[in-house]
Amino acid sequence: MSFENPYEPTASLPPINGNANLDVNFAIDPVDRRTAEKVLRDADYFWVSILLMFFCAPLLTVILLIWYLGRLQSWTRLIATYPGLANPQAVYQSLPDRMQKAKLKLQITIGAGIFMLGFIALGLIVALILRF
């Protein structure tokens, strides 16, 4: 009687360009590492930022939108400087893995800010039309 594990993976993913997964502590400049940690920290609070955009003043929406656009620009610069941060096969919870997850969070926050600005503009237009 043979007992085979039905959950055993049949094959592993091939490494990109013949390289194995990136090490958790691959070489990155200390200043850029701090910048990356700031981007990751702000990306982790994206739900709080979205709630603040929807429930607070329009001025805060503009400020947060500009802030997150700057963080996305920093993210793009870091990915261009260190291509290893864009490795989709990075070790779980390593810096490259967290950077890849942060991109979507930054984009969602920026999208929510643009939506909120459009909603505010629509409200102003309706208010002006109903006034006259």
The answer to whether residue 104 is domain-embedded is yes
Output the CA angle 80-81-83, nearest 5 degrees: 65
The answer to whether residue 55 is domain-embedded is yes
Output the CA angle 55-59-52, nearest 5 degrees: 25
Contact yes or no for 99/79 (Cβ under 8 A): yes
The answer to whether residue 21 is domain-embedded is no
Q: What is the pLDDT of residues 97-130, one digit of tens each?
A: 899 999 999 999 999 999 999 988 998 899 999 9
The answer to whether residue 10 is domain-embedded is no
The answer to whether residue 46 is domain-embedded is yes
Q: What is the pLDDT of residues 55-85, one digit of tens each?
A: 887 888 899 999 999 999 999 999 999 888 8
The answer to whether residue 120 is domain-embedded is yes
The answer to whether residue 113 is domain-embedded is yes
The total domain count for the chain is 1
First to last CA, the chain: 85
Distance CA 108, CA 11 (A): 34
Cα four-point dihedral sign 70, 36, 87, 44: negative
- DSSP-derived secondary structure for 10-30: S-PPPPGGG--PPPTT----H
